[in-house]
C-alpha cells in the first residue's frame, strides 16, 4: 500500500510537469521563427552539459548539473517565464517561484521533493561549481540561438552588446573556454550587424 501511494505521487508529478511543454520562451529555435518551449530548453541544456562538461574550470558532478538544468524552469508552470532582459520585472529569486517549487516538487514523495527543492535552490543561489556551470549553459544557449537568428531577441528587444556580454560574465571563472568563445562570437555578431553596440 505504501509503495502504491508513493508511485501515485510520482505519477501525479509526472503529469504535472508535462505542462512545461506549453511554456513558450522569447528565444526561438536555431535558424527558425518558432519559439522554444521550456521543455525543449531544458533538454537542450542537458545535452550541452554532457558535451561541454570538460570545459568547466573545476571538476563537476555532471549528474547534478543535468538534474539542475532539467528542473530549473519547472517553477514557471506556476510563476511564468520572465524574459532575461526584461527591465520591468525581477528575473531571479522571485517569491512566486519559491511557492511554485514547494507546490510542484511537493507532489512527490517527501524524500524526492526535498532533493529536488534542494537542487533547485542550489541552482538559484548560483554558488556551487555545479550551479555556476548550469547557469553558464543557461546563458550560452540563447546566445547561440540569437546568433543563428540574425539577432533574434536582441534585435526584437533592442538589447545591446554590453548588456549581452555582461549577462555572460558568469562564464569567465566557471568555464574559461566558453567565455573566450562567447567573447569572440559576440564580436563577430557586432561585426555582422546583428548585435548593436551601445550608443556613445
Is the pLDDT confidence value at 182 over 90?
yes
Lowest mean pLDDT among 50-64, 75-89, 156-170: 75-89
Domain membership of residue 200 (yes or no) is: no
Grid coordinates belonging to 178? 566558453
Domain membership of residue 198 (yes or no) is: no
Model confidence band, residue 54 (pLDDT cutoffs 50, 70, 90): very high
Q: Which domain holds residue 188?
A: 2-192
Which residues lie below 8 Å from residue 69, measured CB to CB, with a gap of 6+?
42, 45, 46, 48, 49, 134, 137, 138
SS (H, E, C) 130-185: HHHHHHHHHHHHHHHHHHHCCCHHHHHCCCCHHHHHHHCHHHCCCCHHHHHHHHHH
Distance of CA 82 to the CA centre of its chain: 11
Domain membership of residue 128 (yes or no) is: yes
Q: What is the pLDDT of residue 94?
A: 77
Is the pLDDT confidence value at 90 over 60?
no
Model confidence band, residue 92 (pLDDT cutoffs 50, 70, 90): low
Domain membership of residue 53 (yes or no) is: yes
Model confidence band, residue 84 (pLDDT cutoffs 50, 70, 90): confident
Domain membership of residue 199 (yes or no) is: no
More confident residue, 82 or 148: 148
Per the structure, how many domains does the chain have? 1
Which residues lie below 8 Å from residue 186, measured CB to CB, with a gap of 6+?
143, 161, 164, 165, 168, 195
Helix%, strand%, coil% for the chain, nearest 5: 65, 5, 30
Average pLDDT over residues 95-108: 96
Q: What is the pLDDT of residue 127?
A: 97
Q: What is the CATH number of the domain that holds 34?
A: 1.10.3210.10
Calpha distance 17→6 (Å, rounded)? 17
Residue (of 146, 124, 144) closest to 134 by Cα position: 124
Model confidence band, residue 80 (pLDDT cutoffs 50, 70, 90): confident
Q: For residue range 7-23, what is the model confidence (pLDDT) as tens digits?
A: 999 999 999 999 999 99
Which single residue is written with the C-alpha cell 569567465?
A: 172
**Model's pTM, two decimal places?**
0.93
Contacts by residues 142-146 (CB-CB < 8 Å, ≥ 24 positions apart):
142/27, 142/84, 143/168, 143/182, 143/185, 143/186, 144/30, 144/185, 145/27, 145/28, 145/29, 145/30, 145/36, 146/27, 146/189, 146/194, 146/195
Calpha distance 40→198 (Å, rounded)? 32
Residue (of 67, 131, 79) closest to 103 by Cα position: 79
Q: What is the pLDDT of residue 91?
A: 54
Domain membership of residue 197 (yes or no) is: no
Is the pLDDT confidence value at 93 over 70?
no
Domain membership of residue 40 (yes or no) is: yes
Amino acid at each position: 500500500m505504501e509503495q502504491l501511494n508513493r508511485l501515485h505521487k510520482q505519477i501525479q508529478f509526472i503529469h504535472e510537469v508535462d505542462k512545461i511543454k506549453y511554456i513558450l520562451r522569447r528565444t526561438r529555435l536555431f535558424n527558425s521563427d518558432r519559439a522554444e518551449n521550456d521543455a525543449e530548453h531544458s533538454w537542450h541544456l542537458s545535452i550541452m552539459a554532457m558535451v561541454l562538461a570538460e570545459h568547466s574550470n573545476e571538476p563537476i558532478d555532471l549528474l547534478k548539473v543535468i538534474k539542475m538544468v532539467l528542473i530549473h524552469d519547472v517553477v514557471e508552470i506556476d510563476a511564468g517565464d520572465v524574459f532575461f532582459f526584461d527591465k520591468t520585472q525581477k528575473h531571479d529569486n522571485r517569491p512566486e517561484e519559491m511557492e511554485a517549487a514547494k507546490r510542484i516538487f511537493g507532489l512527490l514523495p517527501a524524500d524526492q521533493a526535498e532533493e529536488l527543492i534542494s537542487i533547485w535552490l542550489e541552482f538559484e543561489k548560483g554558488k556551487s561549481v555545479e550551479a555556476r556551470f548550469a547557469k553558464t549553459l543557461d546563458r550560452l544557449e540563447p546566445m547561440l540561438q540569437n546568433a543563428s537568428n540574425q539577432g533574434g531577441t536582441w534585435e526584437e528587444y533592442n538589447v545591446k552588446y554590453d548588456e549581452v556580454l555582461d549577462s555572460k560574465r558568469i562564464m569567465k571563472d566557471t568555464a574559461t573556454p566558453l567565455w573566450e568563445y562567447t567573447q569572440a562570437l559576440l564580436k563577430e555578431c557586432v561585426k555582422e550587424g546583428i548585435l548593436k553596440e551601445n550608443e556613445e
